[in-house]
Structure 1
Amino acid sequence: MKPKYKRILLKLSGEALMGADAYGINRQTITEIVDEVKSVVDLGVQVGVVIGGGNIFRGVAPAATGMDRAQADYMGMLATVMNALALQDAMRAIGMMARVQSALIIEQVVEPYIRGRAIRGLEQGRTIIFAGGTGNPFFTTDTAAALRGAEIGAEIVLKATKVDGIYSADPKKDPHAVRYDRISFDEVILKNLAVMDATAFALCRDQKLPINVFSLLKPGALKRIVLGEQEGTLVYC
């Protein structure tokens, strides 16, 4: 089947890498995630990935209590670099071509984020993993995903979560919560449906960049979205 999208931006939370562990990286989980990504790369889809750092920062969060916010945010950015390296290693282990670009300059470990180089890498069939968030404190990795998605010309941002879309309320707390198949950016912001932060939503809305929120726990969900099937919730302009 022909993919609906030629280039996508996949947003992974750091927590997604933990599996059932309290924090850190679960090797089996990261292998399963990489297999899902490979299934769409094999279709000829160009994939950029933005990774969070919550799984690592969670382990040091108690020590960060009361810490200067900017300092804590830089620690979180460094955690995303560690996750990106783990993701790259898992991809290379199954024969995928992957590069890490970081908004923080750590040239001994990863190359710096350069838009043109990232786009060339995507065109050459490499999966580009964007680390370091936006490189600035006070901005989340959701905002980094929206920013990188717009910069590289992605056709959609795919946000992988632990739930299968956007609900009218927290489905764990409200048994009557309804899942949306489609919802507009304006409605998401008006109803304060906090799946991504407001800055990320506003940036994607302004750039007319749709977002699909889906469950990372459903095997094959990523591939189904890329092929144009209904999966999770589509946020549209």
Structure 2
Amino acid sequence: EALLGRVEHFLHCGTIWIHGHSCQVPTTEDAPRSPFGEYGIRKAAIDDYLLRMARIKGFPATLLHPGHLVGTGWNPINPQGNFNPEVFARLARGATLPLPNLGLETVHHVHADDVAQTFVQALTHRSVALGESFHVVSAAALTLRGFAEGMSRWFGQEPKLEFYSWETWTTMVSEKDARATWDHIAHSPNCSIEKAKSLLGYQPRYTSFEAVQEAVTDMQRRGVIEGN
């Protein structure tokens, strides 16, 4: 409230986790929300507050909600749904990768450059951006299985995947990796960008695969990932 009447345009970076678990996909900005976890709940509360301030008091807010950020310098979420770079190394070697359940949960990446693009577009399309929230993700989410298969082939390998119940799979990875995977597959985001395309002219330059592959190439260069 201290900023009322003092700023022309307030841009807020949120997260697609404000939605909680996916229901009808691709999820639109106005879909009913069921946020869970401290991060998602607090981000949803910020979103609600700013939109209410915009509606009631005319506060000039625009809310941009990115997916899983990736690009050069980033450690991307991998096909297991966590951040362990060894997952990419296994795929590069052609080793077998265990996945939880049937590997059909989703992750939704976005290149950092595409996020920057929407901040600029929100400023240049101020009249239609005020009081609105927008998803900022790639054109399509990936299933864990499809993600693993695509990355395997990118490395020049044939996919070798095995599927296990959640209970069994968690015994095969570290507690840290299991927690990260659970957070991501419990959300299984798959978000629509039609609103951002229509109102802001958003056109993501990177697919999920392209964004991740750029990051992985950089990780290979830095020796974070060994393999092809």
The normalised TM-score by structure 2 is 0.28
The normalised TM-score by structure 1 is 0.27
* Structure number with larger C-alpha Rg: 2
- Which structure is higher in strand share? 1
